[in-house]
Chains A and B, each alone.
Chain A
């Protein structure tokens, strides 16, 4: 039962452009949403989060948007940089924490 879904396994963007990563969830009990970034041979690292009482949270080049009615969230990275190339995981918490399958972002110089 995949409660958190990332339907795009990969995304490629040009340096300087915007990267938009999407995530959908099914469990309306989730009240906290997170994005993690993962490099090969490392554990995921926390990037940004949003509470269900908000619809937007911004941290530098990273912004997360939450649409509760659509059960959808997205991560915007602007401008994208080659160092942003990694796998990005969407996660959702109620008590435990569930992850999507990840999206591999490639930012081309």
Chain B
């Protein structure tokens, strides 16, 4: 398996534009996480899906942020409109959630710069 795949690796956009980040989880995994890395808060959980259903989106900072998981092999995180303070590295991670917890595997991240 190629692991968790995120695209694009880098995104530079102008303030006010829509940005879409994409994630392909590891095949067979049923849990998917979106995180944002900041200096102050480290890896901040934005939203968590289980079996394609959003379970906890309390970390989504504003209504400008939305996430979808239309099927088990694809998820998107959208920011509309984007603002300079959204500049960060965004990570997607997946894991298999059964009767016991297991580790999650991360993608390489998308570095977003909003100018």
| Contacts from A to B (Cβ < 8 Å) | 2, 6, 31-32, 34, 36, 41-46, 49, 51, 89, 91, 93, 95-102
Question: With A2-B41, A42-B108, A44-B43 in contact, is A99–B35 under 8 Å at CB?
Answer: yes
A45 and B104: CB pair below 8 A? no
A-B contact pairs, 25 of them (CB 8 A): A2-B41, A6-B42, A34-B103, A42-B109, A43-B91, A43-B106, A43-B107, A43-B109, A44-B106, A45-B106, A46-B103, A46-B104, A46-B105, A49-B103, A89-B43, A91-B43, A95-B97, A96-B45, A96-B55, A97-B95, A97-B104, A99-B42, A100-B42, A102-B42, A102-B43
B48 within 8 A of A: yes
How many residue pairs between the two chains, A and B, have CB atoms under 8 Å in the bound complex?
59
B33 and A96: CB pair below 8 A? yes
Residues of A within 8 A of B101 (CB): 31-32, 51, 93
For the residues of B in contact with A, the DSSP-based class is strand
Q: How far is the CB of B40 from chain A (nearest CB, A)?
A: 7
Q: How far is the CB of A26 from chain B (nearest CB, A)?
A: 15
Contact of A98 among B45, B95, B97, B108 (CB under 8 A): B45
A95 and B103: CB pair below 8 A? no
Residues of A within 8 A of B106 (CB): 36, 43-45
B4 within 8 A of A: yes
Tell me the complex Cα distance, A32–B104, Å. Answer: 12
B56 within 8 A of A: yes
Residues of B within 8 A of A102 (CB): 42-43
